[in-house]
Structure 1
Amino acid sequence: MTTRIMPWNPFRELEELQNRLAALMSRSLVPSSEGQEAMRMADWAPLVDIEENENGYLIKADLPGLAKDDVHVTLENGVLSISGERKQEKEEKDKKYHRVERVYGRFVRSFTLPEDADPDQISAQFKDGVLEVRIGKSEAVKPKRIEIKG
């Protein structure tokens, strides 16, 4: 098994830090009906992987507990957006929760498409809680090998 070393990208780290800070700042203490402070579950951002090969890009988003109808993929002005909502289960009177750690609420992840992405070659598939969005590369931008005649 070989380990691939990825080049350091300070902007990727900055984006990750920004996403973490946004998640922290979106949670706030709000008074509950009993007058106590309670943590309000705010919007969340599902984790994604983005891959590239010579034919295009693949975005994989982890969306456990969601159904296909709870997720929307849109493209507008070169920005691909994945949005949806994970609804909290209804609290039943005979259940006593000791811990609730899963995050619920609306989410939106947006990605600016690179110049070589072809907006006419976008497809999405949802299976087992994972959304896969495939984006093809434009033929005009793919490298073309030119034969040298002698």
Structure 2
Amino acid sequence: MANLTRWSPFKSLSRFEQNAPFDDIFRGFGLRPQWSELEAPDVRIDVSENDGAYRVKAEMPGVDKNDIDVSINGNQVAISAEIKRESKKKDDERDICTERYYGQVYRSFSLPDEVDSGKASAHYEGGVLTLELPKQKSSSARKLTVS
């Protein structure tokens, strides 16, 4: 399987966030450039296969397993999740810096072979979602007679 690189036009803008002098200009005004809001984090995956199945491991830290949705349609796999923000704060607390992402994440991809969705399974532990996706048995080939 070929290696694919995901490109995002906003990725280069996030470099400005690391530029401390630029950030210091806005610190006294209570304003801060929010370049990171333009881009949701990537759902990074590893895909491996054997003769009978694919195994997909997806990094999804900070996600509750009940908030993860996986759908399979033929050879198309889609993973989506909602990362929720904890809103428990004391009355005298205020945010100084907020960099963690909250919201929806989504990733879809195609596999070379169709997946038997009836036998597929998913397991989530330690921030990693593991999918076991058995390959669909090829339907019996038959020869057609041309009349």
- TM-score band by shorter chain is 0.5 to 0.7
Deviations 1:29-83 (CA, angstroms, capped at 9, x unpaired): xxxxx89454152422221111111221111111111111111011235321100
* 8 Å CA contact retained: 2:72, 2:115: no
Partner of 2:86: 89
Cα 1:78–1:137 change in 2 (3 A) is closer
TM-fit CA distance, 1:25: 7.7
SS at match of 2:55: strand
Cα 1:138–1:67 change in 2 (3 A) is same
Which whole-Å CA distance do the structure 1 matches of 2:124 and 2:63 have between them?
10
Identity of aligned residues (%): 28
Cα 1:100–1:35 change in 2 (3 A) is closer
Partner of 2:11: 24
1:60 aligns with 2:57: yes
TM-score, normalization: structure 2?
A: 0.65
5+ residue gaps, structure 1: 1-6, 28-33, 142-150
Instruction: Kindly indicate which of the two structures has a greater share of residues assigned to strand.
Output: 1
Q: Structure 1 residue aligned with 2:130, among 112, 129, 132? A: 132
* 8 Å CA contact retained: 1:125, 1:132: yes
TM-fit CA distance, 1:95: 3.3
SS at match of 1:117: coil
Cα 1:128–1:35 change in 2 (3 A) is closer
Root mean square deviation of aligned Cα? 3.2
* 8 Å CA contact retained: 2:75, 2:115: no
1:102-113 aligned within 5 A: 102-113=100-111
* 8 Å CA contact retained: 1:26, 1:43: no
TM-fit CA distance, 1:99: 4.2
Amino acid at match of 1:63: M
Higher mean alpha-carbon deviation, 56-65 vs 68-77, is at 68-77
Deviations 1:78-130 (CA, angstroms, capped at 9, x unpaired): 32110011123337353355544332221111011322533333111112221
TM-score, normalization: structure 1?
A: 0.63
5+ residue gaps, structure 2: 15-28, 140-147
